[in-house]
Amino acid sequence: MSDARVHRTVHEVIAAAPAGVLYGLIADATRWPLFFPPCVHVEQLDFDGTRERLRMWATAGDTVKSWISSRRLDVQRLRVEFTMDVPAAPARFMSGVWTVEPLGECSRVTLEHSFTVDGDNPADVAWIEDVTTANSSSQLDRLAEIARLWTRLDDLVWSFEDTLHVNAPAELIFDFLYEAEDWPAELPHVTRLDLVEDEPGVQLMSMGSMSVDGGTHSTESVRICFPSAQRIVYKQTRTSPLLTAHAGEWSIEPDETGVNLTARHHVLLDEDSIERVLGEGTDAVTAGHHVRDALGKAGLSVLRYATQYALGAVRVL
């Protein structure tokens, strides 16, 4: 890296929340898909209390990039330093730091990046600067929005799952979940589905569907598929009503008597739309139970149809 020019970007925002709250949101990267629009999925690979390694997926312009980052968490200084172990092309090296500074009732959050590019190609440098600026601004703006809600965040963030135990071939169930372009012919509530998979295992999905109350809505998602682990994780980049963010997972886990099919959901309620959608006087807790019931029913429905598909395919064979 000594012979390459180092480029730097610095972005900051003033957020109306205590520094400790903001540091906690930054430090808990596994929840970033709920809070930061570009972030699709984060998996913690190692953690010793101070240092951790993360596998991350995020949108970058019209593409989905993935990389492994090492982070050092310094709660005393309210800093999180990070380095990409294997940077996403065209970056050759990238590192940075989050810093939170108390300002009375507010806090300043600064996000710095340093990077190099092979050959210092001007077009590649400009692309990384543009994407870094767009993603940093998006992250910081959303952080400021969340800060406004920090006293109510426990009522707005919901995580839940439903599990179905069945005796059916796990591989065929995964095929049903993976080959989602066939869902309109298989699932009664799916009216339209467009799926693009330019990179193996990374799917961009646009879906039209009917909700349990008979209404219709459209969603768009990025899906990351792990065939060997029989998991599919996803992040909706265009959500259904009531939600600011929705991330989830389909998982298949065999046991000695069959397979456990699980639909997991993590959602951030859109506080400003609750009364408009569910009626005046509806609070966040009531809205959360409504969303939990609706998504739970939809997820279990998909798993039941996946099971029927798998059993039907076995009978044909």
**pLDDT (tens digit, 9 = 90+) per residue, 23-47?**
999 999 999 999 998 899 999 999 9
- Provide the mean pLDDT of the chain: 93
Contact present, 304 and 277 (Cβ < 8 Å): no
What gap in Å lies between CA 65 and CA 4, rounded to an integer?
Answer: 23
Across the range 115-135, mean pLDDT stands at 92
What gap in Å lies between CA 113 and CA 80, rounded to an integer?
Answer: 12
Contact present, 98 and 110 (Cβ < 8 Å): yes
- pLDDT at residue number 173: 98
Q: 3-class DSSP state for residue 248?
A: strand
Residue 119 Rama label (left phi>0; alpha psi -120 to 50; beta): left
Question: In percent, how much of the chain has pLDDT > 90?
Answer: 85
pLDDT at residue 213 above 80? no
Contact present, 139 and 109 (Cβ < 8 Å): no
pLDDT at residue 293 above 90? yes
- Residue 262: pLDDT band by 50, 70, 90 thresholds? very high
Among candidates 139, 171, 186, which has minimal Cα distance to 259? 171
- Residue 1: pLDDT band by 50, 70, 90 thresholds? very low
pLDDT at residue 211 above 90? no
Across the range 88-109, mean pLDDT stands at 94
- pLDDT at residue number 214: 58
- Residue 195: pLDDT band by 50, 70, 90 thresholds? very high
Q: Which two tokens stand for residue 119?
A: 């050959």
Phi, psi of 155 (to 5 degrees): -85, -15
- Residue 296: pLDDT band by 50, 70, 90 thresholds? very high
- pLDDT at residue number 240: 85
Across the range 52-56, mean pLDDT stands at 96
What gap in Å lies between CA 201 and CA 186, rounded to an integer?
Answer: 22
